[in-house]
Amino acid sequence: MNQKATIKDVAADAGVSIKTVSRVINNEPAVAKTTRTTVLKSIKKLKFTPNKDAQGLRSKRSFLIGLLYDNPNKYYLSDVQSGSLNACAGTNYNLVLQECKNNSSGLISRVTNFIKTADLNGVILTPPLTDNLKLVAAITKLDVPISFIAPPNKTYEVWSSANDKDAAYAMTNKIISMGHKKIAFIKGHKDHSAAKARFDGFCESLDKQNISLDASMTLQGNFSFESGFKLAAELLKKKNKPTAIFCSNDSMAAGVIKYCYQNNIAIPEQLSVTGFDDSMIAQEIWPSITTVRQPVAKMSEHAASALIKKISGNSSIGDLTKIFKSEVVLRESLGKAPK
């Protein structure tokens, strides 16, 4: 291919100075209409696109946003990405990925180093990294804006969140409305604040409906399929078995379902199972899983675009924070309580 056009070529073609071309590129108001038109014509004609490195070098911006994640549910990650990508499309910003093991040693220095080396202008944090206060503090010290997806509290400047607690509350109400009274709960990973919020919603619903919480029915899982399987065994071997198990995510619900198959427990006739996330498996497994759908892609899109606003100093345009609503999705795994 022939040499890429530069701002000089455009200036020469349009018969103006490079500064004027620069003004047009950056949408600065102080340009005469006719001049702008001429310049835009030359830009198009020469297929000019500004050199990012030169822009970045001079203006101290890299136009790079980091998406940091601790390999969570793969579907979740995929949705986070496409949402963030959508927000970047049409802007000058690009997304750079970085996987981080939340509790690995040296995490903080690796992340700060990455941010400095890649010269990121901002980062998006996903759970459970959002809950890692030390990490957040270290990035903040770098003076790099952070956008939080599902943060543990609402004190940050830029974030998107889902109403995990409300959704878990609604799901629990739904379970109770089907006649269930002995409802077990399998908690998510202990380092995820969202997991805690889900449990809180569960407790609140029981409380409001005057069903007392049985501590032996609320077990600590870790979001993995295996933990669901293992804890199902624990719950279903009790004399006083639950008639429904509310799992904090779909993978654990799938684990419960597997245990039931292997032990001839019919779902939902003998046991109802519900999940959370609406992962792909919730639809592809049989029976399909009653779960909570979160608008993860939209949350992430907002997180990214709010971050870009913040970075480019357009914070005034629209909100930098937003709560998204989740919804209960009814499928086959939830049924009436057995008599």
- Closer Cβ to DNA, 54 or 266, answer by number: 54
Q: Please tell me whether residue 53 binds its own copies under the rule CB under 8 A.
A: yes
DSSP 197: H
Element (H, E) at 298: helix 296-311
Which of its own copies, DNA, none lies near 286, with the C-beta cut-off 5 to 8 A by kind?
Answer: its own copies
Residue closer to DNA, measured from CB, 34 or 105: 34
Q: Pattern 3-42, binding to its own copies, x per CB under 8 A?
A: -x--------------------------------------
| Residue 119 engages its own copies in binding (rule: CB under 8 A) | yes
Preceding amide of 287 cis, omega within 30: yes
One residue of 43, 48, 255, 303 binding DNA per CB under 7 A:
48
Contacts of 32 (CB under 8 A, 6+ apart): none
Q: Residue 303's closest CA among 123, 163, 133?
A: 123
| Choices 57-65, 70-78, 258-266, 313-321; region in contact with DNA by CB under 7 A | 57-65
Distance CA 81, CA 78 (A): 5
Q: How many CA atoms lie within 13 A of 59 on its CB side?
A: 14
Sign of the alpha-carbon dihedral angle for 70, 76, 80, 81 = positive
Q: Using CB under 7 A, which residues numbered 286 to 325 contact DNA?
A: none
105 contacts its own copies (rule: CB under 8 A): no
Span interacting with DNA, options 4-12, 160-168, 184-192, 216-224, rule CB under 7 A? 4-12
The single residue among 59, 113, 140, 263 that binds DNA, judged by CB under 7 A, is 59
What is the token pair recorded at 319? 């909100």
CB-wise, 54 or 317, nearer to its own copies? 54
Residue with tokens 């993978």: 251
| Residue 137-156 contact track with its own copies, rule CB under 8 A, x = bound | ----xxx-------------
Extended strands (E) in the chain: 64-69, 94-99, 122-125, 146-149, 159-162, 183-187, 218-220, 244-247, 272-274, 291-293, 321-324, 327-329
Q: Which stretch binds DNA (CB under 7 A): 17-25, 70-78, 237-245, 260-268?
A: 17-25
CA distances (Å), origin 50, targets 10, 13, 176, 183, 273: 11, 16, 60, 60, 55
Considering the rule CB under 8 A, would residue 314 count as an interface residue with its own copies? no
Q: Classify 99 as helix, strand or coil.
A: strand
Going by their DSSP bridges, the two strands 291-293 and 327-329 should be labelled as antiparallel
- Least distance (Å) between residue 98 CB and DNA: 22
* Segment interacting with DNA, rule: CB under 7 A, options 34-42, 166-174, 206-214, 251-259: 34-42
- Enumerate helices (H) and strands (E) in the chain, giving the number of each: 13, 12
Among 37, 216, 262, 263, binds its own copies (CB under 8 A): 262
**Considering only CA atoms, which of 258, 236, 257, 259 is closest in space to residue 332?**
257
Binding site for DNA (CB under 7 A): 4, 6-8, 16-20, 22-23, 25-26, 29-36, 48, 50-51, 54-55, 57-59
Binding site for its own copies (CB under 8 A): 1, 4, 49, 51-54, 56-57, 62, 64, 71, 74-75, 77-78, 81-82, 85, 92, 94-99, 113, 116-119, 141-143, 225, 251, 254-255, 257-258, 261-262, 280-281, 283-287
